[in-house]
Amino acid sequence: MDDVPPAGAAAPRTAVVTGAGRGLGAALATALAGRGLALGLCGRTAPPAPPGADAVCRAVDVADGRALGRFAGEVVARFGRIDVWVNNAAVLEPVGPLAEADLDAVARLVAVDLTGVLAGSAVFAAHVRTRPGGGVLVNVSSGAAGTPYEGWAPYGAAKAGVEQATEIVGREERAAGLRAFAVAPGVVDTAMQDRVRAASDRTFPAVGRFRRLHAEGRLSPPSWVADWILEHCVLPAGRLRPEGDAGAVHVRVPEPPSPGAGPA
């Protein structure tokens, strides 16, 4: 991947982040605000805006494409356009063998983790087509998209779908200037990781790996991951480019060089 910025790339002015109430989403909101971007933030409940940020904050079910469209319309009405869209909202449960899963919970996970990303990507792509300047789409993926963790069939399947959807949307919208990124954030120190470590060995056989990473202090701070995504995917000076004729950049955020370190 080449880190030469696209020709004519301009600094983004407005960003949307879904699942912005806590964890990585909240860290992304803070990092974007720190770069002077106006924000559209949504979550299951209306997330708080970072201190000093100019933001539209709403409670939105990302699985509801019409609701996302209305939210995007509010953001555009307030700020004129959306330059960056981050599909971060996700749920983890149910965890355990698929044969034992509550299928209503499976359907809800797919609705949030995959349908929500498809809906957000569609809303943003349609907006980018309406005005010049292109845009940056960041879909938060996972290592589970390519690693078959027993106990995570719904989550892994949804994240694999996110990877493929991002690639296809990147190809479809290339002419409109949309640049697409599927970003696996690594093992991030969030409440979701707390729930991962609380799983039993029977329901999630790989749980020992995640407990060891926690014990060794190797979970990435959300602020590190957010800053890395901004520097390598969002901001023109460091923006990565797809390889060959690929439609999207598929990348995993590296571990920090040391606990609590900022981006290189």
Neighbouring residues of 129: CB distance < 8 A, sequence distance ≥ 6 = 173, 176
In this structure, are residues 146 and 242 in contact, taking their beta carbons and an 8 Å threshold? no
Give me the DSSP letters along 133-172.
Answer: S-EEEEEE--GGGTS--TT-HHHHHHHHHHHHHHHHHHHH
Q: Let me know: does 66 contact 42? Beta carbons within 8 Å.
A: no
In this structure, what token pair is assigned to residue 110? 């797919």
Coil, helix or strand at residue 3: coil
Distance between CA 135 and CA 127 in Å, rounded? Answer: 9
Active site residue 149: no
Q: How far apart are CA 62 and CA 89, in angstroms?
A: 8
Q: Which of 71, 149, 155, 181 is catalytic?
A: 155
List 182's β-bridge partners, or say none.
139, 250
Backbone angle region of 217, left / alpha / beta, with phi > 0 → left and psi within -120 to 50 → alpha: left
For the record, the structure tokens of 14 come out as 């407005």
- Of the candidates 165, 167, 143, 166, the one whose C-alpha atom is nearest the C-alpha of residue 156 is 143
Name the strand (E) or helix (H) holding 22.
Answer: none
Q: Which residues are catalytic?
A: 155
